[in-house]
Amino acid sequence: MIRGLKAAMRLGVDIGGTFTDVVLLDPRTRRLVSGKVLTTPDDPVRGVLNGVDEVMGAARASLEDVADLIHGTTLATNAIIERKGARTALLTTEGFRDILETGRELRYDLYSLSLEYPTPLVPRRFRLGIRERVDAEGTIVIPLDPDSLTPAMDAIAAAGIESVAVCFLHSYANPTHEQEAARRLRERFPKLWVSWSAEILPQIGEYPRVSTTVANAYVQPLMVGYLSRMEEGLSGRGFGGRLALIASNGGTIGVPEAVKVPISLVDSGPAAGVTATARLGRVMGTSDLLAFDMGGTTAKLCLIRNGLPGWTAEFEVARLERFQRGSGLPLAIPSVDLIEIGAGGGSIARLDHLGLLQVGPDSAGAAPGPACYGIGGDQPTVTDADLLLGFLNPAYFCGGTLPLDTDRARKAIGLLAEGLKRPVERAAWAVFDTVAESMANAALVHASEKGVDVRRTRLLVFGGAGPVHAWAVASRLGIREVIVPASAGVLSALGCLLAQTRFDLMQTLVADLDRLDVAKLRAVAHGLGTRGRALLDQAGVPARARRLRWSLDMKYAGQRYQVNVPVRAIPASAAAVRALRRRFGQVYRERYGREIAGMPIEIVTCRLVAAGPEPRIPVSLDNHSAVPSALPTVRPVWFGGRAIRTPVLRRESLGPGVRFSGPLIIEEAGGTVVVPPGATGRLDRQGSIHLTLAARASRRGG
């Protein structure tokens, strides 16, 4: 197995709303081969298989020689946003069925009278109260009443429910009622999907737990169907390796865990891209970055500080107010802290009732696609504008595999131009400008939430549409340095191959540090360690490559919130406990500025991150596609109000160390880099393009 991993080929796949990107890493040739095909929204598996076929063909390799295929997908997220999940019911403690709806009762905007909250994934009619009760100590106050389960199960049968969430009060302290209800449900309905909260999230706090469990139940049938079709399709092509997914924590998980807790796949695609960015940044020695990923459907932005992306223990999906915390559905799963907006190549441009130009958030996606794809779309999109402005080469989009139709783009944008009473290129420019503005605005909000001055970061750009738009976003934000890594167009797929196997395990135990039972703490840790090692074994991580990172959530007695204190080992002696006390004080001080002398300290939760090794970054990230290099050409490109004759180069014709200045277009199969007038650039040894924008000169296109 170890030998196999080293020598064998690996596939990374990122399924976006518009494109499915596939990257093959071939250790024999030390080469990356990549492909970009249209996503097949009705069944994303087909797109993946198309992409895999294309790449394997280009590499003249066989799937039988591929050791693993790791992929990221936004399928779970989209199912929740678009409400395409299963018909779901909730069984909950009688008298508490509205917790899912009333949530925290907290307003997310202090002054708005038009607040709206997302409709719960389970409507009230399918939230069924069950007679049972467990108290905070885990003691059964009212035994589970089978007579109250029967009418609930009848209702489930009558309503054609496909998936059920079971969430009872205090189940983290005693899960027997949930287990019993789940067992009876499965007994009567063998095909029903059942998620129970103590398994998904064994944690105190009824609202985050019920919200997460319900979301899990809601996406489970869809995700399981998808994964089994994927396994089938791949094995039909001779694939015998390991199929894994990127979880929202940026690590990889196998299919069995994904089937059990599919909600941990929410935002898995973007997490892979961010992981890759952070790694690349560290390789480049650039630790403070703004990662900017613009694909066909959405743009994602994530601040990376000291080489690491931000983390959040609670993630919100389907926000109704895109920048407002509290306007979405909370999921208590560890995830990369990023901001996502509906701005991509496929974003549709239209005039609103005031005659103002709006771009997005809806996207033409892969079907019907932008007008210029010529596959059915006729609405004007960002990609149509990019084409008319001369940024894109109609004969070399996706390396020429997807020829673009300029006439259709002109016709679509022409409709806007009429409404705006402007020439077509001016209308196209307005679309380009508007989408840059909304991405810059999102970046500003995201950076500001962290208190960071966005101007002091560098923009690391990727995704198919990213390198076309990066300069316009950067200049609006006052960012002068833009980095376009090699393989930028397929970086999220590549990120899948850079992710570690990773499991986040936790166990709550409340213990006073003054009266700490060291043996009990070590027993808890031992249990976690055993589980972690077993999971890593299952994932094929050899014992020598295991990384176990321990930490303890601690607080002053009486506080509600904890700080996470990383420890090298779980304390075993009185001296180690004293050291732990000092370490807590240090972490608390770093976070909040001061300690509180004389206040008793508690351990609340023991945590373990069980991870495999960080896969190495291949020597060269340079992308090899089968397309032959072409000679430099010149074409008119619109920057603002005027067209400038702009040289066009192929990326593979640039050698390391080469310097250049804008205006310039650099094309490669995975995407197009636009270098605006006044900017200078160079290529580094890893193949990354570094652009330095003229100070403010390029605002509004120079």
Partner 1 sequence: MMPKVKSIQTDTTTLGIRWRRLVAFADEATVTLLRCAFSRNVTDGWDFSCALFDQAGRMIVQPTQGLPAFLGCLALSVADVVRSIPRHTLRDGDSYLLNDPWRGTGQVNDLTLVTPLFAGRRLVGFAANVSHAADLGGRILSGDSREMFEEGLRLPLMRAFIGGRPNPDLFELLRLNSRVPDIVLGDLQAQLAANLMLRRRVLEFLREERMPDLEGLAAEILHVSEMAMRRAIRNIPGGDYRAELETDGFDRPIRLAAHVTVADDRIHVNYTGTSPQDPRGINCCSNYTYAETVFPLICVARPASLINGGTLRPLRVSAPLGSVLNPRPPAALGSRVMVSQFLQAVIFRALAQAVPDRVIADCGTPAWLPVLAGTSQHGTRFVEMMFLNGGFGARPDSDGISCLGWPCSFSGTPVEFTESEKPILIKRKELVADSGGAGTFRGGLGQACVWQSRTSSPLTFAVRGDRISHPPLGLQGGLAGSPAKVLLNGTPVHSKETIQVQPGDILSLETPGSGGFGDPGRRARTMVEADLADGYVTPSAARELYGWGRT
Binding site for partner 1 (CB under 8 A): 95-99, 101-102, 104-107, 110-117, 123-125, 133, 135-136, 141, 169-170, 204-207, 325, 441, 444-445, 448-456, 476, 478, 556, 558-561, 592-594, 596, 599
Closest approach, Cβ 110 to partner 1, in A, equals: 6
Report H helices in 146-305. Answer: 146-159, 176-188, 197-200, 206-236, 255-260, 268-284
Q: What are the φ/ψ torsions at residue 417 (nearest 5 degrees)?
A: -60, -40
Angle between helix axes 466-477 and 424-449 (nearest 10 degrees) is 60
Region for 671 from its dihedrals, namely left if φ exceeds 0, alpha if ψ lies in -120 to 50, beta otherwise: left
Between CA 472 and CA 493 the distance in angstroms is 25
Closest approach, Cβ 390 to partner 1, in A, equals: 27
Query: Rounded to an integer, what is the distance from CA 645 to the centroid of its chain?
Result: 39
Compare residues 190 and 558 and give the one whose CB is closer to partner 1. Answer: 558
Q: How far apart are the first and last CA of the chain?
A: 56
At residue 341, the 3 state secondary structure works out as strand
Compare residues 107 and 642 and give the one whose CB is closer to partner 1. Answer: 107
Closest approach, Cβ 73 to partner 1, in A, equals: 32
Q: With residue 553 as reference, give the H or E element that holds it.
A: strand 547-556
Answer for the pair 533, 546: CB distance below 8 angstroms, yes or no: yes
Compare residues 218 and 226 and give the one whose CB is closer to partner 1. Answer: 218
| Residue type, position 590, single letter | E
Compare residues 444 and 630 and give the one whose CB is closer to partner 1. Answer: 444
Alpha-carbon distances of 1 from 6, 8, 52, 532, rounded to whole Å = 9, 10, 23, 19
Alpha-carbon distances of 134 from 102, 127, 144, 176, rounded to whole Å = 22, 19, 9, 10
Answer for the pair 177, 196: CB distance below 8 angstroms, yes or no: no
Between CA 534 and CA 61 the distance in angstroms is 33
Compare residues 224 and 445 and give the one whose CB is closer to partner 1. Answer: 445
Closest approach, Cβ 89 to partner 1, in A, equals: 13
Compare residues 556 and 660 and give the one whose CB is closer to partner 1. Answer: 556
Closest approach, Cβ 150 to partner 1, in A, equals: 20
At residue 244, the 3 state secondary structure works out as strand
Pairing state between β 680-683 and 458-462: unpaired
Closest approach, Cβ 96 to partner 1, in A, equals: 6
Please report where in the chains the tokens 């909304």 appear, as a residue.
438
Q: What are the φ/ψ torsions at residue 48 (nearest 5 degrees)?
A: -60, -45
Closest approach, Cβ 561 to partner 1, in A, equals: 4
Compare residues 109 and 378 and give the one whose CB is closer to partner 1. Answer: 109
Compare residues 122 and 280 and give the one whose CB is closer to partner 1. Answer: 122
Compare residues 25 and 290 and give the one whose CB is closer to partner 1. Answer: 290
Compare residues 135 and 232 and give the one whose CB is closer to partner 1. Answer: 135
Closest approach, Cβ 174 to partner 1, in A, equals: 12
Closest approach, Cβ 681 to partner 1, in A, equals: 24
Q: What is the DSSP letter of 119?
A: P
Answer for the pair 53, 24: CB distance below 8 angstroms, yes or no: no
Closest approach, Cβ 334 to partner 1, in A, equals: 18
Measured over the CA atoms of residue 452, residue 455, residue 460 and residue 463, the dihedral's sign is positive
